[in-house]
Amino acid sequence: MADNNAKLNVRGAAHDFDVLDGSIGPSVVNISSLYKDTDMFTYDPGFTSTASCESKITYIDGDEGTLLYRGYPIEQLADHGDFLESCYLLLYGELPTKVQKDDFVSRVTYHTMIHEQMNRFFSGFRRDAHPMAIMVGTVGALSAFYHDSTDIADPHQRMVASLRMIAKMPTIAAMAYKYHVGQPFVYPRNDLGYAANFLHMCFAVPCEEYKVNPVLARAMDRIFILHADHEQNASTSTVRLAGSSGANPFACIAAGIACLWGPAHGGANEAALNMLSEIGSVDNIPEYVERAKDKDDPFRLMGFGHRVYKNYDPRARIMQKTTHEVLGELGIKDDPLLDVAIELEKIALNDEYFIEKKLYPNIDFYSGITLRALGFPTTMFTVLFALARTVGWIAQWKEMVEDPSQRIGRPRQLYTGATKRDYTPIDQRR
């Protein structure tokens, strides 16, 4: 039986703490009484060694390169399931039966429209507004239209808000895209599947019938599955922290979208494609690899590296396979950016610097090539990430709200600023 006791000696005083074991993965030292016992805080900027919560939703083994949604490997869910099935699994913990799946799909389908007055929101943005700016603003505004699902203490309202978020994100994302390209909004259709409906809302125009390519719809659906959840990443931690104050779910998701936008996080897919375009050709790769290794050069290989994965991101493998499927279906024989990506990956994975620092391609490395081939501009890439990650944010938010032990998140600090001093009148300042 493992020893479940941790001893800490702080300036000569011994303190005991409990070690808590999970079902899989690293155990934790429960230090919640540390400040009371030692009058000290722990210090872990970036939370590299800190578990912020207990969760049953998603597990990542960074060394093995495995990702499980409620225990199911991402490879199996991506190969055999669909996005709404994964949504049900993430939200409720089990794969749905046929009856449960049909009911869930129907409930999502009948929440896809947004309040008609919200259309006016979009015309308030400049034509060249980044779609992520539109997403943050519009999702935050949902709480102004759906007051009947903002009481987080009511399980029914929590469920309605969850469904509304999953159902309405594709509609809002498609509207952000249509506004961006200056085309009329396309309403959702109840006879199309989730991913097909999204592609239809993005690419249909009033002038002619738009038939959704089933191969591309399947690829889009799989891309949504890959992005659905990922433990306590920066944007999910943002949603949890916002939710811990009792903020309504729409405001919490808007906070998550804002955090995801950063190029170190969900914005990396847009940055990775821009990087591949900047590199331009295979001949230029060595110069950029050297720059990525140069401490004095801020340039990094976007789509490479990960806080948790110190092995290949399993999602990147599936994304690479999907890239080839989409390019094949579209008859794109040679995509120069894909050639650069494949050669860059080969060079980087054989370079001592990347090997020593365990830097591998992550989900953002290939996703941009696929999304561009599907017809999306780079500015829409992170919007698609946010669309898919909404179910993960909502599932994690729901788990936190329903946890009886949860309290408002309020980290402390190591203060190194000025010690107490008296006010100096302005005529005495030098």
In degrees and rounded to multiples of 5, residue 191 shows phi and psi of -95, 0
- Quote the tokens at residue 96: 């749905």
Q: Encoding tokens for residue 1?
A: 């039986």
Q: Strand, coil or helix: what is 235? A: helix
CA-to-CA distance for 346 and 365, rounded, in angstroms?
13
C-alpha–C-alpha distance, residues 254 and 99, integer Å: 32
Assess whether 80 carries a catalytic annotation. Answer: no
Interaction of residue 142 with ligand SDX, rule CB under 6 A: no
Q: Tell me, yes or no, if 306 is annotated catalytic.
A: yes
Question: Out of 364, 403, 422, 427, which one is annotated catalytic?
Answer: 364
Between 158 and 306, name the residue whose CB sits nearer to ligand SDX: 306
Segment lying near ligand SDX (by CB under 6 A), choices 79-87, 140-148, 240-248, 258-266? 258-266
The least CB distance from residue 308 to ligand SDX, in Å, is 6
Nearest one of 105, 57, 40 to 396, comparing CA atoms: 57
Draw the binding track, 5-44, toward ligand SDX (x: CB under 6 A; -: no contact): ----------------------------------------
| Active-site option among 130, 229, 306, 313 | 306
Binding string, residues 297-316; x marks residues near ligand SDX by CB under 6 A: ---xxxxxxxxx--------
Nearer to ligand SDX among residue 46 and residue 417 (C-beta): 46
With respect to ligand SDX, which residue has the nearer C-beta, 329 or 343?
Answer: 343
Pattern 266-285, binding to ligand SDX, x per CB under 6 A?
x-x-----------------
Taking the alpha carbons at both ends of the chain, their separation in whole angstroms is: 66
Binding mask 338-357 for ligand SDX (x = CB under 6 A): -------------------x
CA pair distance 183, 386, nearest whole angstrom: 22
How does DSSP assign 128-157, residue by residue? Answer: T--HHHHHHHHHHHGGGT-GGG--TT-HHH
| 264 lies in the binding site for ligand SDX (CB under 6 A) | yes
Six-digit token pair at 130? 């980044």
352/219 Cα distance (integer angstroms): 34
Widest distance between CA atoms in the chain: 79
Helix, strand, or coil (residue 49): coil
Q: Which is nearer to ligand SDX, 306 or 372 (CB)?
A: 306
Q: What is the contact surface with ligand SDX in residues (CB under 6 A)? A: 46, 230, 233, 264-266, 268, 292, 300-308, 357, 359, 362-364
The residues annotated with a catalytic role in the active site are: 306, 364
